A and B are shown apart, each in its own frame.
Chain A
Amino acid sequence: MHKLDDNRAWLLIVPVFALVAFNAIIPLMTVVNYSVQDIFGPGQRAFIGVEWFREMLRDPTIQAAFIRQMVFSGLVLAIQIPLGIAIALLLPRSGWKSSLAIILIAIPLLVPFNVVGTIWQVYARPEIGLLGRAINAVGFDYNYTASPVAAWVTLLLMDTWHWTPLVILLAFAGLCSIPQPYYQAARIDGASRYAIFRYIELPKLKGVMTIAVLLRFMDSFMIYTEPFVVTGGGPGSSTTFLSIRLVNMAVGQFDLGPAAAFSLMYFLVILLFSYVFYTILKMNSRA
């Protein structure tokens, strides 16, 4: 009877195990397989060890894309985390105004990625887009298809519009969970608004903000659809991020071996960064 209990427990996780195997483990093993072979055509392949990895690390276009990607993720975090917290602090904590604000703020999160790209592609066009024409009308020479700076600004604006709401929602939930006596005690202690933020709200937000940083880092480091739709990686290669470079290599040039090695390294880098962030933030909140 006891054994029966245990067996059934194992049976229950079989579907999950099968699912994970099909959509994660097996594809990943295929990629590992490609990454160590040179494929000339159907049925013609040779084992070449870590040669593709070595070549990818030396590839200057990949190195440049990696730096670009780092800068992009860095800027995304530097803009969206403070902005998200700031907006969350301004929101009413209860009542219908609060509910309405939350609904309005959450709308961008519901828009599909390629639609976001299409919206901004049109919105920011210098000749017909509302934003593009407005910027040019003010006197700035703005054209994201020609100027790398304009392309970056457009992508950052778009990502901020799309994803800051997530940070706001997380920060708002964190703020709502702070018990009232904390605010009351701070008022009695004569704390300024800034002191309340610095010594009560920020420490209590640490947990949810860890999650926000992790999510925003991983998503922005893997960004593909929106820049693909808006800039296609240009002008030149100024917005060619790692994922765009990877797709060009795998689909455009059909270099399966190098692309496999590239994507494995890409995956490991994200894993590594996420782990480092997680450890640092967790250490901080424990101390």
Chain B
Amino acid sequence: MAEITISDLRHAYDGDLSDPSKLALKGINHVWRDGGAYALLGPSGCGKSSMLNMISGLVRPTAGRILFDGRDVTDLRPEERNIAQVFQFPVLYDTMTVAENLAFPLRNRRIAPAQITRRVNEVAEMLDLGPLLKRRAAGLGAADKQKISLGRGLVREDVAAILFDEPLTVIDPQVKFDLRRKLKLVHETLKLTLVYVTHDQSEALTFADQVVVMSHGEVMQAATPEELYDRPSHSFVGRFIGSPGMNFLPCALDGNQIRFDGGTIPAPALAPRPGSQLTLGLRPHAIQPADAPTGITADLIEVEDRGPWRIADIAIGTNHLKMKLKDDVPLPSGSFPVRFDPDATLLYADDLLTGDLRHAQA
């Protein structure tokens, strides 16, 4: 187990660092605490997989250092780093039994046979692979195969971290829950440092204590799932997390008012840098129809019934927004007053969170 520190990690596929805009990783600093469950989340091509492969040692960064517990491992090969990795598609040694697959990393490291047997049985027990130990690994289902891949990491008592590269992609939705639960259990019991790469916010927010959201080779926010959802520090995170994503409404400060096309709301006491572009960030559930006039009027464009709730496309002035209503909330029609929930209305300046409207009530 180890604390993993990444310092000023920069990477260019052609090794040329001169043009910062072309870098796959643009100078990333981060600390993965010992025993934490982390997710690296971002759209395809954001650099998350490259970063994972640098931690495991499969890819060497063009510049920057990687430290395990303060020890520089940047120049070490994967087998010298004591990490384990689970890939998108299950990697198994087809000719071996499940037990032999689990024992493989230990046999390579010349561990005593009695100890190997003990570890293999312990890990098989934890992952419910006990009854399968004598079976050929090749004939098993995808979920069991992924468990074996994970098991090959867990058998090593010296393992510093386990890295996951979209491990649930090939798993049927019905068995995903089982594997997710198993992963949580493994984390709770063994307190290993886990790093999980995915493009799927559900995977990341379900798995991790802390999620690192990346875009175009940069970290946009590293925070708990709740923080990412409730207080995205960058507008990209607001759009990326949540379904549908956060609404952004261009606005301007006008004394103690925030003015936007279609209405005003009281402003908080803050002074963003003059000249910066201000926007209001509103989760779809933060916009709700009001019983009495509020100074903000919305026009209903379209309503979509999504079962548990409805998503309404509305226009406030010339702005198009999505409003989320629970299925037992009466549906308005035509033009109607709406209310912004002050606890969930955030103010952004040049895409960065600068404050909320919690204390701005008149």
Contact = CB atoms under 8 A, between A and B. Distances in A.
Please say whether the chains A and B touch (CB closer than 8 A): yes
A187 B104 CA distance: 12
B108 A191 contact: yes
A182 B88 CA distance: 11
A179 B105 CA distance: 20
Given A184-B78, A184-B87, A192 B108 contact: yes
A185 B95 contact: no
B235 interface: no
B56 A188 contact: yes
Contact of B58 (A187, A199, A287): A187
24 contacts: A181-B88, A181-B91, A184-B56, A184-B91, A185-B149, A185-B152, A187-B77, A188-B78, A188-B83, A188-B85, A189-B79, A189-B105, A190-B105, A190-B108, A190-B109, A191-B108, A192-B108, A195-B108, A199-B96, A199-B104, A203-B93, A203-B94, A203-B95, A204-B94
B211 to A, nearest CB: 24
Interface residues of A, number: 17
B321 interface: no
Consensus secondary structure, chain A interface: helix
Nearest to B79: A190
Given A187-B78, A200-B93, 10 more contacts: A184-B56, A184-B78, A184-B85, A188-B105, A190-B79, A192-B108, A195-B104, A195-B108, A199-B93, A287-B136
Given A184-B85, A184-B87, A189 B104 contact: yes
Given A188-B84, A191-B104, A199-B95, A179 B109 contact: no
Q: Which range contains the number of B residues in contact with the other chain?
A: 20 to 34
Contact of A189 (B95, B136, B152): B152
A191 B108 CA distance: 6
Interface in A172-214: 179, 181-182, 184-185, 187-192, 195, 199-200, 203-204
A127 to B, nearest CB: 52
A262 B95 CA distance: 42
Interface in A237-252: none
Interface in B53-102: 56, 58, 77-79, 83-85, 87-89, 91, 93-96
A195 B136 CA distance: 18
A40 B58 CA distance: 77
A90 to B, nearest CB: 21
Interface in B140-196: 149, 152
A188 B79 contact: yes
Chain A CB count within 10 A is highest, among B88, B95, B105, B149, for: B95
A184 B89 CA distance: 12
Contacts of A190: 79, 105, 108-109
A74 B258 CA distance: 89
Interface string A132-164: 000000000000000000000000000000000
B91 A182 contact: yes
A217 B87 CA distance: 39
A195 B103 CA distance: 13
A181 B89 contact: yes
A204 B78 CA distance: 23
B108 A181 contact: no
B79 A181 contact: no
Contacts of B136: 287
Most buried by A among B79, B136, B149: B79
A276 B242 CA distance: 60
Contacts of A185: 85, 87, 91, 149, 152
Interface in B226-269: none
